[in-house]
Chains A and B, each alone.
Chain A
């Protein structure tokens, strides 16, 4: 029943989006209307060994934060609880949870072995049906991986209730920024999707731009000015070792992105003032030129099946979006609205393309279908830029820079419906986010 309740809520969102899309030819009103979120209770996970109570509190809180953060769920505060969960195995007093209108109840338990290892179990209940939703699950890991275990619990809960894949056990690689606009220092950083566990992957001795994850999240492509010129580097996340990909003298390369198999890279190379798209095979180092128009061709992104590439080009006179076969060849223009379109990124579900749009002095993050139809703008500000998709294709993260001499850049996320716009916390300024696959 609960699954049905939320499925209805989510269908309603999609339906509203379609209605808006049909309201005009391309221009869509941006709405951030609130869908009634599903109330849930996540009491502290039961401590089944000595010393596990603290973990039980913290894990339940991360699970609740994950679900709250989607805007689709609303945590009922512990102060409202009528009964407590003191045993993971004991029958649930559903009436007590119905009385506080908890539609979902998440119970869990934690064991520690005193040697740095945790075991986490959980169950999800449909309170009004009085039944368990799916089977109980158990995760084992080390204490320093406790947040990942909590994210895995939340992903399972999200997935069971929405019928969609989760995205909480994922990471974001981004550019950490410090200093004023005319002396900005940039370095690569990686963190959990929610801003926890920030680690720096480079120092700020050389300008770095636009990191992108490999399909398995183990490597990162980025652009570095270490040589004095923009060159593409590839970095192993585990060892934090990097190397420059082969480049010819007198060229500049940037905007790299992995092909879905992770074996090759598509990127932009500028030579003689002309910027075109190339593909580089990582094993052999061999390159192939994919475009040869005299204009600017950049910001390429593969379709999830690897058969096509969406990119931006100014061959028509202004920045617009095009799709071509992965091996190059004739490109179809897909953006026809007013303004300029850049930084296209193919959704991991394959259905949508997210982009940055500039129109009338404002920047927007938007989405459109792969044929360019049903364009919807999700955000508007002085400068929004560079969308990246959550692994389940339902949330987009991007960078927002504020106006003026004191302007700084921060990360934001927004639901693909345009709802739930919120800032992602980072220690300093941040730009160029790229979301990892689910770990």
Chain B
């Protein structure tokens, strides 16, 4: 490898690291503005105001620890981005689905999923999203997305997913 290539690669690595900086939302920047700027250079991919964009790029889900409904710092960052998107795209409403992993009895997991979806709702409301735009539903352990009986799967199933749907006016 030539020295110049090495320098270029490390520059790329630095910029990637900057993108992955977990504190990127700490300053409550206007995400709609920062995201809107690079949009023209990506001709493919969903429109920034579409539910598909919300799902793929904003991040539609947050994960929870075993038997917990407390939002982690990472979850709060995702929800900050969700709140920013919902603020910009004020025609849409959201249904927050709360889910549990399979380790637990059916009724308890329904109640736990209700806690998780409500934790997300309350956070979004605290960020200025009107309560009328947010619905909550629990699925307990009825709708796993990963099917192995190991923590790797359980961790992904303990989730709250924000589903964007037709606007208030539609």
Contact = CB atoms under 8 A, between A and B. Distances in A.
Interface of A: 180-182, 184, 207, 209-210, 228-230, 250, 252, 254-255, 268, 270, 272-273, 275, 296, 298-299, 312, 314, 319, 342-343, 356, 358, 361, 382-383, 385-386, 401, 403-405, 407, 432
Nearest to A299: B107
A386 B106 contact: yes
Nearest to B150: A404
A298 B100 CA distance: 16
A343 to B, nearest CB: 5
A282 to B, nearest CB: 21
A228 B145 CA distance: 18
Nearest to A401: B102
B128 interface: no
A358 B69 CA distance: 20
Contacts of B102: 383, 401
A405 B145 CA distance: 11
B119 interface: yes
Contacts of B34: none
Contact of A298 (B95, B110, B146): B110
Nearest to A253: B110
B86 interface: no
B108 A230 contact: no
A181 B144 contact: yes
Interface of B: 69, 95, 102-108, 110-112, 114-115, 117-119, 122, 135-139, 142-149
A275 B105 contact: no
19 contacts: A182-B146, A184-B142, A207-B142, A209-B110, A255-B110, A268-B107, A270-B111, A273-B118, A273-B119, A275-B110, A296-B108, A298-B107, A298-B110, A299-B105, A299-B107, A342-B108, A358-B104, A405-B148, A405-B149
The 5 closest A-B pairs by CB, nearest first: A273-B118, A270-B114, A275-B111, A342-B105, A296-B111
A268 B147 contact: no
A404 B110 contact: no
Contacts of B104: 342, 358
A209 B69 CA distance: 23
Contacts, number: 98
Given A228-B95, A382-B149, A407-B147, 11 more contacts: A209-B142, A250-B136, A255-B107, A273-B69, A273-B117, A296-B115, A298-B110, A342-B104, A356-B105, A383-B102, A405-B147
A404 B148 contact: yes
A403 B149 CA distance: 6
Nearest to B122: A273
Nearest to B121: A273
A343 B106 CA distance: 9
Given A273-B114, A296-B115, A405-B147, A385 B106 contact: yes
Contacts of B95: 228
A228 B135 CA distance: 11
Nearest to A270: B114
B147 A181 contact: yes
A298 B111 contact: yes
A228 B137 contact: yes
A404 B69 CA distance: 25
Nearest to B148: A405
Given A273-B69, A299-B107, A312-B108, A182 B149 contact: no
A273 B144 CA distance: 20
Contacts of B143: 182
Counting chain A CB atoms within 10 Å of each CB, the highest count among B114, B137, B139 belongs to B114
Point out which of A180, A250, A252, A407 has the most chain B C-beta atoms below 10 A from its C-beta.
A252
B108 A298 contact: yes
Contacts of A229: 137
A210 B118 contact: no
Contacts of B105: 299, 312, 319, 342-343, 356, 358, 385-386
Nearest to B153: A405
B107 A272 contact: no
Contacts of A386: 105-106
B135 A252 contact: no
Contacts of B69: 273
Nearest to B157: A182
Given A229-B137, A230-B137, A254 B107 contact: yes
Given A228-B137, A230-B137, A182 B145 contact: yes
Contacts of B122: 273
Given A273-B119, A299-B105, A356-B105, A230 B110 contact: yes
A315 to B, nearest CB: 12
A156 B136 CA distance: 52
A401 B148 CA distance: 13
B137 A252 contact: yes
Given A358-B104, A382-B149, A270 B110 contact: yes
Contacts of B139: 207
Contacts of A404: 147-149
Contact of A182 (B110, B115, B117, B147): B147
A397 B44 CA distance: 55
A356 B143 CA distance: 21
B77 to A, nearest CB: 21
A403 B122 CA distance: 35
